[in-house]
A = this chain, B = another copy of it.
Amino acid sequence: MKVLGVVVEYNPFHNGHLYHLTEAKSICDADFTVAVMSGNFTQRGEPAIVDKFARTEIALRCGVDLVLELPCVYAVQDAGGFAFGAISSLAATRVVTDIAFGSESADLEALEKIASILVEQPPSYLRFLHEELKKGHSFPNARRIALMRYVAYEKLFDPSTLKITKRSNDILGLEYIVNAKKLGLKTTFHVIKRIGSDYRDENFKGTFSSASAIRRKIKEGDFESAKKALPDESYSIIMREMDAGRGPVFYEDMEKLILGTFRTMTRDELNEFAGFNEGLDQRFVYYAVRSGTVQEFLESVKAKRFTFSRLRRLSVYPILKMRKKLVEESNEKGPQYLRVLGFNEKGRQLLQLIKRLAPIPIVTNASNYLNISKKATKKERYEHFEPDLFKDQFELDIRATNVHSIFFTNSEERSYERDMRLGPVIIVSKPWNRHN
């Protein structure tokens, strides 16, 4: 039995995602497909354009069998933390045999070689890395240059191969392989060459446009263009959500909340949360009172060594309460649950199997989470289960949902405590009927 695992945000699910999914399923001849998906906040530090239940439904309609939530504590971290949480979740299912990811280079061999260096961390590589960081490079850049120097120094392989550590999907893929190696997984990796535009390319390119270009079209109200880049299932569900006033939600909607939060915090208070090192605590506090918009705020805080994604993530940490302690423990001990966001008939079968094998509890009905944790402490199979960490990780997911829904246009939908009231999305019907 082949079970394909993918790590996704689907913000929103577009034609490129559909191509990737179809290719991946075909390449590894998958019997089942399970996706680990970010919840209501993404790795760019943004609220998702429509909420996780809607994005789950789209994923199921488009060919995923089971959708699990990547806990927020990992979803809103850098590539390293994100990949650790995602690969740990896929590993915890105990059923995933293959993992596929999109890649600009599609050079799996090179990624494997580089991953080995990153896992083994030879001293001369670490020295180069340290030197490059001291020069003020951002971490991804410093790492890329250090790798290049190391590979040239040790004459391992053609350093030009390392140009692939420059592009976002390759960077994430690399982290997937690194984390799988560290966890000792025997999963087979597959790369799918990305088609169409880079995810950072905000220019709309028609059928194969990036998620950010599509979000921008939706923000501008140009739904006709967005439609061209989205599978019908995705477009219909997004429109349905918008009609109901559950989105679209954008980072800029959080402007007053973000400015209000940072204008009233001291550096000490900020340091309770993860990531405010390298003088960032001071920069955030200093510029909050000197910026009139979130855009201006991030641009002021920005320095060469920080990426915008990192700053945007940090800008939501005090709101979501991403505490230092929680992030550190989570990065050491891994996710403490598998949250089921939705499944189809095949997904249900797979879930039965996962329930029997997983080393951490499965959360299907979120409102029951405290009970699930209580029972889990008594189960022998969950020998490494940490109830306090479970609670902290899970309550962060709930908070993220409750912050996200504040920005729904329909105020009645805002007051609906979604995680507590909605069960998983279950699709038992025949394939999507376009005329319904």
Contacts and interface: CB of A to CB of B under 8 A. Distances in A.
Contact of A264 (B263, B289, B292, B403): B403
A319 B262 CA distance: 10
5 contacts: A256-B406, A260-B319, A261-B261, A263-B402, A292-B415
Interface string A269-304: 000000000000000000001111100100000000
Copies in the complex: 2
B264 A321 contact: yes
Interface in A189-227: none
A414 interface: yes
The majority secondary structure among interface residues of chain A is: helix
Given A289-B402, A289-B417, A414-B292, A260 B257 contact: yes
Contacts of A261: 257, 260-261
A407 interface: yes
Interface in A87-107: none
A263 B296 contact: no
B292 A417 contact: no
Interface of A: 253-254, 256-257, 259-261, 263-264, 289-293, 296, 319-321, 399, 402-403, 406-408, 410-415, 417
A290 B257 contact: no
Contacts of A290: 415, 417
A310 to B, nearest CB: 21
A154 to B, nearest CB: 48
Contact of A260 (B293, B296, B403, B413): B403
3 closest A-B pairs by CB: A292-B411, A292-B414, A292-B415
Contact of A403 (B254, B263, B410, B412): B263
Contact of A292 (B257, B260, B292, B412): B412
Residue in A261, A289, A403, A414 with the greatest tally of chain B CB atoms within 10 Å: A289
A77 B113 CA distance: 65
Contacts of A413: 292
A319 to B, nearest CB: 6
A260 B400 CA distance: 10
Contacts of A410: 292
Contacts of A414: 259, 291-293
